[in-house]
Amino acid sequence: MFLGHFGVGFGAKTLQPRVSLGTLFLAAQLADLVWPTLLLLGVERVNIVPHATATNAFDFVYYPFTHSLVGELVAGLLLGLIYWLVKRNAQGALVVGLLVPSHWLLDVVVHTPDLPLYPGPSPLFGLGLWNQVALTQVVEFALLGVGLWLYVRRTTPRNGKGRYGLLGLVAFLVLIHVGGLFSPPPASVKALGWSGQLFWVTVLLAYWVDRNREASGQPGDELLRAAVPVVS
């Protein structure tokens, strides 16, 4: 899953317009942002196997810290706590914290059974949608489309940067996604680890775009306020 995670990040803006899109992207993609660095450090492992699935060449051997459900729940708790300590926004912290494990829930749909529940001798999960190329693309683009629609409904551009920057951000995401489908497999795990650092650019772009847009409605705030008190 790639575009779908960003779609969830876009859509989460409806729940908490005060949280920057960059922070929402960071939370939704935290697992994939950290994973390339852990590959370079040798902490987690992947094999590059052409045609491992119909859509990619990755045999995920060992990634219990970034891609186990428990690992992502812990990371979500920590990121949500950090957000609350910095912003003192409990509603925003809840959204940020929940976005992190949403990554596992989306990944389990597309991965073959390689996603652990917890570090250690865990059962592995995955429904294997990656072996259905067309259906995978329908799901990816549908999630991105719905999330983007929600984001556009709840924000308006302050200037041309907010309008055309958003278009550029979406085009960049689609370009990475399509490029991954049609490009040859990475030459090595090291090359994969370094190229994966590109994901951080999407977070920086999202911060920049969101600074040039403003919230035009806050229905999600009302829903969250019923469950979580506002902390000034």
Q: What is the pTM of this model?
A: 0.90
For residue 80, pLDDT beyond 50: yes
Q: What is the dihedral of CA 80, 84, 90, 96, to 10 degrees?
A: -30
pLDDT of 41: 97
pLDDT at 216: 82
pLDDT at residue 61 is higher than 60: yes
- Average pLDDT of span 73-88: 97
Residue bearing the bigger pLDDT, 217 or 230 = 217
Under 8 Å CB-to-CB from 51, ≥6 apart: which residues?
57
92's tokens: 């925003």
Say which DSSP state 14 is in: T
Rounded CA separation 35/41 (Å): 10
Over residues 60-70, the mean pLDDT reads 97
Percent of the chain, pLDDT > 70? 93
Q: Which two tokens stand for residue 14?
A: 């409806």
Mean pLDDT of the chain: 92
